[in-house]
Amino acid sequence: MLTSRHKAHLIIITTFVLGLAVGASGHYLLSYQSHQNRSPSVTEVTDELARIVKLDQSQRSQVEKILNESSQQYQELKNQTRPQYMAIRDNTRKRIRAMLSAEQQALYDQWTNELDSKREKRNSEERKHSGK
């Protein structure tokens, strides 16, 4: 039969082990989710393609050049259309904000600021991973 002291030790050890498991699971899920949300870099795509279709060095260089060029074109297109997306977003926010009370507006502004911060952080991470 377990004494009170042994029960206490067992509870402490169990709590510690469960804490480790929950922490490790949370870390894994956050890492996995952030990895899933970003686009693969040109180098990652080139590496995978080289492995799958067995590119020689010349082909690999050509593929990397093509992917870099298309990546630049995608970025230029994004830069051209971004003002339109932002105008739609801003108009939507103004319309929603107009129907809210002063107290709700303060909460809504806080919420949209947090969204904007998260988006900027994600975009910054994507730029860092893509080498831009």
- pLDDT tens-place string over residues 12-35: 998 888 888 888 888 777 766 655
- pLDDT tens-place string over residues 97-128: 999 999 999 999 999 999 999 988 887 877 77
Structure tokens at 43: 């180098």
Q: Is the pTM of this model over 0.75?
A: no
Q: What pLDDT, on the 0 to 100 scale, is given for residue 36?
A: 57
Residue carrying the six token digits 């998260």: 118
Q: Is 99 helix (H, G, I), strand (E, B) or coil?
A: coil
